[in-house]
Chain A
Amino acid sequence: MSDARQNYLSAGDTVKSWLLTTDHKRIGILFLLSILFFFSIAAAAAALMRLELLHPQGHLVVPDTYNKLFTIHGVLMVWFFLIPSIPSVLGNFLVPLMIGARDVAFPRLNLLSWYLFLTGGFFAFHAVILGGVDTGWTFYTPYSSAYSNSHVVEMALGIFIAGFGSILTGLNFIITIQTMRAPGLTWFRLPLFVWSMFATSIILVLATPVLAITLLLMGVERVWGIGLFNPKLGGDPVLFQHLFWFYSHPAVYIMILPGMGVVSEVITCFARKQIFGYKFVAFSSVAIAIIGFLVWGHHMFVSTQSLYAGLTFSLLSFLVAIPSAIKVFNWTATLYRGSISFEAPMLYIIGFIGLFVVGGLTGLFLATLAVDVHVHGTYFVVAHFHYIMVGGMVTAFMGGLHYWWPKMTGRLYPRRLAQVAAIILFIGFNLTFFPQFILGYLGMPRRVHDYAPEFQFYNVCSTCGAAILGLGYLLPLLYFVWSLRYGQKAADNPWQATGLEWKTTSPPPKHNFEVIPVVTEDPYNYPPLNDYGEHEHA
């Protein structure tokens, strides 16, 4: 086969060609496989936690083990699944394709990001094997630096190294989107997924270094006993919280922004219609990225942070909710006078909108000072961020995977089964996490392995929901792997979507485009629809 006909998957199938590839598409696939590994460990930890919480006294595991379980679940999910998932998998694969470039700006740096992620992952996994960490993913001092006797330093080293991986990914995307767009592809002709990746990269690059220095200081304090965060040596633990949350709140926007980009792409394709208010949706991504840096204090309303700082952060936290609201309203308005089909990706995206609205609104509860004093550190918070992370981010990631799977692998998955899986996930999710809102306001604290007997009903519902959720995640894994061999061959543009990535073959050739395309018209310019929702061939 001539080089042009050979796609990126068949161009060299030795292990070396995969491990030393600088092709952004292969690096995306490598990231997909590695985050799957960490997702499975963290999901297993979550399953054990839910089993432990079936019974009020909770005799399944010893308290110390439970503490290690929720730390493993937190650390691996946050840094080794959620943060890399859409940026490093779908972002790596699609951003160069969507902007008509042959590869990212620094391909070797891109491969280095994967190796940094793997090295960090190795240290984190090794810490888990040795006995895990019992500080929670927040590593609050002075417990983590002076009182815990678990493998905190090795886990922190793992996250520190993986953090540099995500800095380099962010740096790569900023430069790629900035300097390597195809001729004619102005900023306002960019697909909204690229806008959200640009905003995410701003956060990746500007927030992760602060995490690096925070973990470094916490590790050094643990090893040499410096007094920066230990009050017995004159330090201030609240300073650690300031530094940690300065990174960790923007980090939650690193997780959700790419999901919003996927939603904009999928909803326009399956409504066959231009998005409503393109500029507002694009700028709200950037607005979230910037305002996201101003609000971290709402994690510390009851932490002896000063009263006036609490007021400032509460006000700013309300403002950061506005751009998200704008996005949701625009997505809903996009469906008006569209021609909607309920393929699997669209089902996930509708699920996303439903769950993200609930997650976002409960965020307002937590931003209200008086209510947060009651619900901080309870299951209300756990439910809120799972609605955003799992209901929002992971659902959007699944939607994105289903949408671009034909482009990535050249195969189609079973249509009906995928639709069923989406619905199962939606039901299982709600059954798992909605009862936790009620538990939270009732006052059940988080991170506890046993609870008051009267809370058992809600915990049992939540565990049953978790079982359905677990099943819901297994189904796509099965039929995706099945589709690799037996799936129907996919056409170049199975969903008849607009966007440069659909103009190449499925899977795309090694160098993406024979000739770099010239872009002349706006994104999502679907032809007008007749009364039955078919495109009029003007």
Chain B
Amino acid sequence: MNVPFFPPEASSLAPETDHLYFFLLGLSLFVMVFVFVPLTFFLFKYRRGRRANRAALNLPTNRIEITWTVIPTLISLGIFGAGASVYFKEEVPPQHYLDVNVIGKQWMWKIQHQEGNSEINELHVPVNQAIKLTLGSEDVIHSFFIPAFRLKQDVVPGRFATEWFQPTRTGTYRFYCSEYCGMDHAKMEGFVYVMPAAEYKQWLEQAPPRNTLAQSGEKLYRILGCSGCHDGQTLVHAPPMEGLYGALVPLGDGTTVRADETYLRASILQPASHTVAGYQPVMPAYQGRVSEEQLMELIAYIKSVAHSEPLKKP
């Protein structure tokens, strides 16, 4: 029976969190020594009935108090800084990364790769490659937690959450839902399979899906009727999707906003509150008519046409 004492370090940032953890452990041991040693010594030395010099001393109370206020404050600021710097690294993904979508719904995780492969409660990723997860929830708050990567991110319904990691060791690691979400909250777990790049590619082709995420997004783009207005040839005056993702979009109320996932999501679900400058708010709201999965597929399609030219008007 192997009794683990410490979780495996399998991501690029795991060692940094562990360094902080060990520093805090060391600090705690120091503080406990600083408190418990004199405590036990006094309890032993000044036991009632034991001979000891008990003459009252008027110690410089104020100076003592100031020292053991200032020193812990300074130490705390130091730890805060260290914790914050690692937290920043966890928030900002590196330049190029692999996009993977994760949808939490009551009591299972559905994972969609850009190449179209989708899996339930399993995540296959190549080693030494930064992966950025875009997380959505269909119902309640879940939380995607991979202990081996020291990473957790709540998945709040109604918005996208993102987290990134770069696995550094191949192997199988558990992931959990760590925010209570109902009856089978404990069942909502699975495994991350970190594989060498070649093996990962081979896994992708092993059961090739009919079409990639962007392609299924395009199919949806037609079925839901988006193409009816947003395609170049139609008469209805609607902003084209080509070249949209990542660009700066001027809005009707004079502000400009970058077209990232959050903007795309908001303008699909509630277009009235995000009309683009120079257009009429005629687009119907898709709130409640589009699931998180479909939303991610549409956004994958919009991303895929980010660099192509819009078709000219007839």
Q: Assess A318 versus B77: contact at CB under 8 Å? Given A143-B140, A332-B35.
A: yes
- CB of A441 within 8 A of CB of B21, answer yes
Query: Cα distance A235–B35 when bound, in Å?
Result: 48
Residues in B with CB closer than 8 Å to A63 are 183-187
Task: Check: B279 CB closer than 8 A to any chain A CB.
Answer: no
A380 nearest CB across to chain B (Å)? 10
Task: Check: B284 CB closer than 8 A to any chain A CB.
Answer: no
Task: Check: A20 CB closer than 8 A to any chain B CB.
Answer: no
- CB of B61 within 8 A of CB of A140, answer no
- CB of A457 within 8 A of CB of B79, answer no
- CB of B181 within 8 A of CB of A143, answer yes
Query: Cα distance A443–B181 when bound, in Å?
Result: 18
- CB of B28 within 8 A of CB of A322, answer no
Q: C-beta contact mask, A358-400 vs B, less than 8 Å → 1, else 0?
A: 1001101101111111101110000000000000000000000
Query: Cα distance A138–B24 when bound, in Å?
Result: 28
- CB of B65 within 8 A of CB of A532, answer no
Which stretch (A31-39, A42-50, A170-178, A302-310) binds chain B? A302-310
Chain A contact residues (Cβ within 8 angstroms of B): what range?
35 or more
Contact of A335 among B32, B46, B55, B287 (CB under 8 A): B46
- CB of A371 within 8 A of CB of B20, answer yes
Which secondary structure characterizes the binding site on chain B? mixed
- CB of A329 within 8 A of CB of B35, answer yes
Which stretch (B36-44, B237-245, B295-303) binds chain A? B36-44
Query: Cα distance A140–B181 when bound, in Å?
Result: 9
Task: Check: A30 CB closer than 8 A to any chain B CB.
Answer: no
Query: Cα distance A160–B36 when bound, in Å?
Result: 42
- CB of B158 within 8 A of CB of A232, answer yes
- CB of B17 within 8 A of CB of A307, answer no
Task: Check: B86 CB closer than 8 A to any chain A CB.
Answer: yes
Query: Cα distance A362–B143 when bound, in Å?
Result: 22
Q: Assess A531 versus B54: contact at CB under 8 Å? Given A373-B90, A443-B145, A448-B185.
A: yes
A315-351: which have CB < 8 Å to B?
Answer: 315, 318-319, 321-322, 325-326, 328-330, 332-333, 335-342, 350
Task: Check: B69 CB closer than 8 A to any chain A CB.
Answer: yes
Q: Assess A304 versus B180: contact at CB under 8 Å? Given A142-B140, A335-B42, A353-B35.
A: no
- CB of B65 within 8 A of CB of A236, answer no
B138-168: which have CB < 8 Å to A?
Answer: 139-141, 143, 145, 147-148, 150-154, 156-159, 161
Residues in B with CB closer than 8 Å to A304 are 153-154, 156, 159, 161
| 10 further A-B pairs in the complex, CB-CB below 8 A; given A376-B178, A454-B2, A530-B54 | A142-B157, A314-B80, A330-B65, A341-B47, A368-B24, A369-B86, A371-B17, A457-B3, A528-B56, A529-B54
List 9 contacting pairs A-B, 8 Å CB cutoff, sorted by A.
A315-B77, A322-B69, A340-B43, A370-B87, A370-B90, A450-B186, A457-B3, A531-B51, A532-B50
A-side interface residues toward B, CB under 8 Å? Answer: 63-64, 67, 134-136, 138, 140, 142-143, 146-148, 231-232, 235-238, 271-272, 276-277, 280, 302-304, 307, 310-311, 314-315, 318-319, 321-322, 325-326, 328-330, 332-333, 335-342, 350, 353-354, 357-358, 361-362, 364-365, 367-374, 376-378, 438, 441-443, 445-452, 454, 456-458, 528-534
Give 7 nearest A-B pairs by CB, closest first. A443-B147, A231-B158, A368-B83, A370-B86, A318-B76, A369-B87, A448-B186
